[in-house]
Amino acid sequence: MTRLLPWLYLAAAFLFIYLPVAALVLFSFQDGGLPVPPFEGPSLRWYADILSDDDVMAALTNSLMVAVASAAVACVLGFLAAYGLARHVLPGSALIRGLLIAPLTVSYLIVGLGLLIVIQRTGLGLSLFTAGIGHVVINLPLCFAIIYASMGAQQQNAERAARDLGADEFRVITLVTLPMLAPALAAAFFLSVTLSWDEFIISFLLTRFDVTLPVEIWSMLRSGLSPRLNAIGSLVFLISVTAVLVLEIFVFRKRRP
């Protein structure tokens, strides 16, 4: 009995975590008009429905664009900040590091509101571009922290060796620093993509006509529950899981020699 207990606990924990997702996915295959028991089906009609819905598909494309672009910008900025702070002695560098990471502790709502006020002041209209800016703001601290943490002494020594062997700064960065940082850069990039992909509140506040998928889902929710939402949710879940798996297989596995 005591040997069984840990397994029961494990099963209960996983049930607790995955039951909502399982229910979501299950009822996306519902053949009726409501995503509630009893389950009738399976049927792919709701998938056909959303895949032929231009608004949903446009939102999905928008989301991907915003996620990839904002993650790329956050990685570039995060790398530049990490390189500067890890390789040069600057006055007040601890303070600069703190200020770079601090936005992690600010709620997305506050970040979104702040940006909304600033953007409206500057007269820059709300669009996917402004939502992208918002996602860079929330992902930059994360990218910086991940990249900065992996710029250790081992890397610094390799850069020193490259300089010693005649490399100029540009070639030190392109031939040694960036390739050695590839796992950290990829981790930062994919994490940013998934966070931006799921993000709702900033996108909601900073977009107007073209919206991202979470915002589109929210507006569909206002007209009540429907297996369509389950189908969209399942797709979103599938894409997030793919991103995480890609990260796991191509980045973290490589790290272990």
Partner 1 sequence: MTAPVTLTSLNHWFGDYHALRDITLDTDAGEYVTLLGPSGCGKTTLLSVLGGFIEPTDGTVRIGGRDMTRVPPARRPTTTMFQDYALFPHMSLRDNTAFGLRMAGVALAERHARAHEMLELVGLSHAAASRPHELSGGQRQRVALARALAVRPDVLLLDEPLGALDLKLRRSMQDELKSIQRSIGTTFVHVTHDQEEAMAIADRIVVMNAGRIEDAGTPARIYRQPSTLFAADFMGDMNHIPAQVSDGIATTAFGKLRAPNVPDGAAVLCIRPEALGISGDLDIGAATVTDTSFFGTYVRAHLRLETAPDLKVTAHLPPENPPGPGAQVQMFATTGAVSIFAKGD
- Report the residue number, 162 or 232, with the smaller CB distance to partner 1: 162
Nearest to partner 1 of 93, 157 (CB atom): 157
| Residue 167 beta carbon to partner 1: minimum distance, rounded to whole angstroms | 5
Q: Which is nearer to partner 1, 42 or 179 (CB)?
A: 179
Per-residue binding letters, 143-182, with partner 1 (x by CB under 8 A)? -----------x--xx-xxxxxxxxx--x---xx--xx-x
CB of 156 to partner 1, least distance (A): 9
CB of 162 to partner 1, least distance (A): 7
| Structural contact between residues 49 and 33, judged by C-beta atoms closer than 8 angstroms | no
- The residue among 16, 44, 13 whose CA lies nearest residue 30 is 44
Cβ closest to partner 1, residue 128 vs residue 188: 188
Size of the site for partner 1 (CB under 8 A): 19
**Widest pairwise Cα distance in the chain:** 71
> Which tokens belong to 187?
């981790």
What is the residue-wise DSSP string for the chain? -TTHHHHHHHHHHHHHHHHHHHHHHHHTT-SSSSS-SSP-----HHHHHHHT-HHHHHHHHHHHHHHHHHHHHHHHHHHHHHHHHHHS--TTHHHHHHHHHGGGGS-HHHHHHHHHHHHHHHTPPPSHHHHHHHHHHHHHHHHHHHHHHT--HHHHHHHHHHHHTT--HHHHIIIIIHHHHHHHHHHHHHHHHHHHHH--HHHHHH-SSS--HHHHHHHHHTT---HHHHHHHHHHHHHHHHHHHHHIIIIIHHH--
Cβ closest to partner 1, residue 39 vs residue 83: 83
Q: How far is the CB of 153 from partner 1 (least distance, A)?
A: 8
How far is 137 from 246, CA to CA, in rounded Å?
Answer: 24
Site string for partner 1, 84-123 (x = CB under 8 A): ----------------------------------------
Give 4 or 153: the residue with its C-beta nearer to partner 1. 153
* The only residue of 6, 38, 91, 257 in contact with partner 1, by rule CB under 8 A: 257
Which lies closer to partner 1 via its Cβ, residue 54 or residue 168?
Answer: 168
* Least distance in angstroms from the C-beta of 227 to partner 1: 48
Q: Give the shortest CB-257-to-partner 1 separation in angstroms.
A: 4
Site for partner 1 in 215-254 (CB under 8 A): none
How far is it, in rounded angstroms, from Cα 195 to Cα 66?
11
Q: Please state the closest distance from residue 189 (CB atom) to partner 1, in A.
A: 18
Interface contacts to partner 1, rule CB under 8 A: 154, 157-158, 160-168, 171, 175-176, 179-180, 182, 257
